[in-house]
Structure 1
């Protein structure tokens, strides 16, 4: 895929269309890690925030409670 660097205010930028954003599973406001390799390649890697332990535990308890009958049948 080829993109053109465009002027955005006093900076430069690359416009990502909706299809590219969907493929990368990113949205406006998401953070990305930018890596510049020795040959000049620029790699953008989405940063997906880790879930905090309390939220994970709460979500797990809710899902276990919601699916208790299913888990019982599977055991």
Structure 2
């Protein structure tokens, strides 16, 4: 996708249309990390919050319960 750097106030920036944001799973206000590789390539990586500990524990408990027989055979 070809984009043009635009003047925004006293700065420059890229404007991402809603289709591009949807593809990347981003919304206005999300934080991203930008890294610059040798040669000038930029990589924009969304910063995702980790799920709450309770949700992780619930998923582990459900998995252990669902696969209890299989896990016993593997032990």
Q: Normalised by the size of structure 2, how large is the TM-score?
A: 0.70
How much has 1:52 moved relative to structure 2?
2.8
Give the corresponding residue for 1:67.
none
Which whole-Å CA distance do the structure 2 matches of 1:36 and 1:5 have between them? 16
CA RMSD of aligned residues (A): 2.0
Does the alignment pair 1:46 with 2:52?
no
Give the corresponding residue for 1:27.
27
Give the corresponding residue for 2:12.
12
How much has 1:57 moved relative to structure 2?
6.0
Q: Secondary structure of 1:45's partner?
A: strand
Q: What are the Cα deviations for residues 5-32 of structure 1, in whole angstroms up to 9, with x where unaligned?
A: 0011111110000100000000000011
Structure 1: which 4+ aligned runs deviate by more than 2 Å?
none
Structure 1 gaps, min length 5: 65-70
Structure 2 gaps, min length 5: 67-75
Which whole-Å CA distance do the structure 1 matches of 2:34 and 2:9 have between them? 21
Q: Normalised by the size of structure 1, how large is the TM-score?
A: 0.70
